[in-house]
């Protein structure tokens, strides 16, 4: 079961690589950095903002 991420927390989070804002994908439970072309997972409601844990986005996204 997916858990919602606190909207106030989302306002404060940035990509650790680019320092740009992140987009929340509730369907995939990820925080997306379009600048870095990375998607950071959210596990048990906790964003995992580690580059090594991020998924590389497809060019089409």
**Cβ distance 37 to 20 under 8 Å?**
no
- pLDDT value of residue 58: 87
**What are the angstrom distances between the C-alpha of 34 and each of 1, 9, 51?**
26, 19, 14
Ordered DSSP codes for 21-59: B-EEETTTTEEEETTTTEEEEEETTEE---GGGPEEPPT
Helix (H, G, I), strand (E, B) or coil at 18: coil
Q: How far apart are CA 3 and CA 31, in angstroms?
A: 13
pTM of the model: 0.85
- pLDDT value of residue 5: 78
Tens-digit pLDDT string for the chain (61 aa)? 456 778 888 889 999 999 999 999 999 999 999 999 999 999 988 999 999 999 999 865 4
- pLDDT value of residue 60: 54
CATH top class, domain 7-56? mainly beta
């Amino acid at each position: 079961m997916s858990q919602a991420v606190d909207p106030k927390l989302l306002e404060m989070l940035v990509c650790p690589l680019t320092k740009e804002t992140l987009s929340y994908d509730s369907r995939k439970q990820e925080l997306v950095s379009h600048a870095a072309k990375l998607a950071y997972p959210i596990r048990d409601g906790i964003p995992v903002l580690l580059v090594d844990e991020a998924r590389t986005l497809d060019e089409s996204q």
